[in-house]
A = this chain, B = another copy of it.
């Protein structure tokens, strides 16, 4: 490709010949008729020639400009247009069949703990550092690769960095087929991006969330509903299974929104999950930190539950958005079916919260996926506003004790304050009060923990 810039055109050249003709009209009145007519004929002839010459020059010039427009503006086959929404960068081919987008997110955290026992560990952490690329091919095929660079450094070796890594076909209209690593369809807050949760950490029901796994899913949705189902393996990444067949999940979810207008939403959802553990171990475990992620302390923890044949989970969701006011609640009940003489184990958790935008914004909702979307700041900082300010209060409750498993019961109260500086820049402070830990035999039994959790978050 060679876009040499030729500015050869000199439009002032057109004016030269015409100026020479003007003096003749001033002295014409006194000449005899014959001379005057001859002069007129000569002038008309010259006028014609000039008009002709002007025409030729203009034609050339216009042609040249048109050629420049054609060549330069659409410089090559496959031209791509770059645009931004002020946050992220998008590329689209001129035929709309191809698109590409690069994005990322950063959550930088600090937390301070006040507890009877002093091993909670004040500190700082990068909670998430995502980069992701996504795009479209041949109009109907989407893909997304997303990696969390904050994960490989985790001391929890089972947590790895690959997040979304999928291929999706959308050629059937509203129906989507997805293959690869993606979130299993279970739980309103689990499926909502970690960027858009009201509190720094998801509610305590998240301890049962399946997260992302390699699988195949079918999903669809409309103006008032969403539905999704998928089959998933248990291993998200390139691990080598040394023994036994991998566990697997069958997970499905349906949501219905009788009201689904901006600022006026009622959401109801139900989800179910059947999990078969890795066949050689038949083990599962569940635990939870105090809804804060800096500390490594798990206030409630079943430890390894042996002999699990399979595991079922049922999730119920409800949410409402009424202008600046919003409520949300989830309940998850699970059953671990165990073989032989071992008792089945029933565990459960729920949370409920209310939030209010002091600055009048509303939480956003995507009905066709049944999830919460990005809050749009009405008056961003730097555009004459003070951003959006949101206060919220959450009660959480988890019960990990049943049969001979004494994982413990946990009750939390969280007060949250969010300052959305821009649509994609937010500072949050959460005060988390552990109301009760009922876990006989553990040093955390009856522990009184107060946490101040701070977060700075940006995404693009």
Contact = CB atoms under 8 A, between A and B. Distances in A.
Contacts of A152: 152, 160-161
A55 B15 CA distance: 6
* Residue picked from A2, A42, A49, A143, most chain B C-beta under 10 Å: A143
A305 interface: no
B62 A123 contact: no
Contact of A18 (B52, B121, B140, B234): B52
B244 A135 contact: no
B50 A51 contact: yes
Interface string A17-30: 01101100100110
* Residue picked from A22, A29, A181, A214, most chain B C-beta under 10 Å: A214
A106 B145 contact: yes
Contacts of A43: 44, 48
Contacts of A18: 48, 51-52, 55
A103 B419 CA distance: 31
B239 A2 contact: no
Contact of A62 (B9, B143, B421): B9
Contacts of A150: 162, 237-238
A7 B74 CA distance: 13
Contacts of A93: 84, 86
A238 B127 contact: yes
A442 interface: no
Contact of A233 (B124, B155, B233): B124
* Residue picked from A61, A123, A147, A179, most chain B C-beta under 10 Å: A123
Interface in A42-86: 42-45, 47-52, 54-56, 58-63, 65-66, 68-70, 72-86
Interface in A294-313: 294-296
B145 A129 contact: yes
Contacts of A245: 121-123
Majority-rule SS of A interface residues? mixed
A376 to B, nearest CB: 14
Interface string A166-188: 11000100000001110000000
Interface stretch (A31-39, A328-336, A355-363, A394-402): A31-39
Contacts of A138: 86, 380-383, 422
Contacts of A155: 239-240, 242
Given A41-B25, A110-B233, A243-B121, A162 B171 contact: no
Number of copies: 3
Given A74-B3, A214-B124, A106 B14 contact: no
Interface stretch (A94-102, A259-267, A365-373, A408-416): A94-102
B78 A84 contact: yes
Contacts of A81: 1, 3, 75-76, 79, 82
Contacts of A79: 3, 81-83
Contact of A137 (B15, B21, B34, B425): B425
A5 interface: yes
A186 B80 CA distance: 38
B74 A74 contact: no
Nearest to A60: B11
A69 B66 contact: no
A59 B237 contact: no
A448 interface: no
Contacts of A94: 1-3
Nearest to A88: B100
A86 to B, nearest CB: 6
B51 A11 contact: no
A460 interface: yes
8 closest Cβ pairs, A-B complex: A124-B233, A123-B246, A121-B241, A11-B59, A240-B296, A124-B214, A25-B45, A150-B238
27 contacts: A7-B70, A14-B58, A15-B56, A22-B52, A29-B41, A36-B37, A40-B41, A62-B65, A72-B73, A73-B73, A79-B82, A82-B91, A86-B138, A106-B180, A119-B243, A126-B237, A129-B147, A135-B460, A137-B422, A138-B381, A138-B422, A139-B382, A141-B458, A143-B458, A152-B160, A180-B456, A240-B296
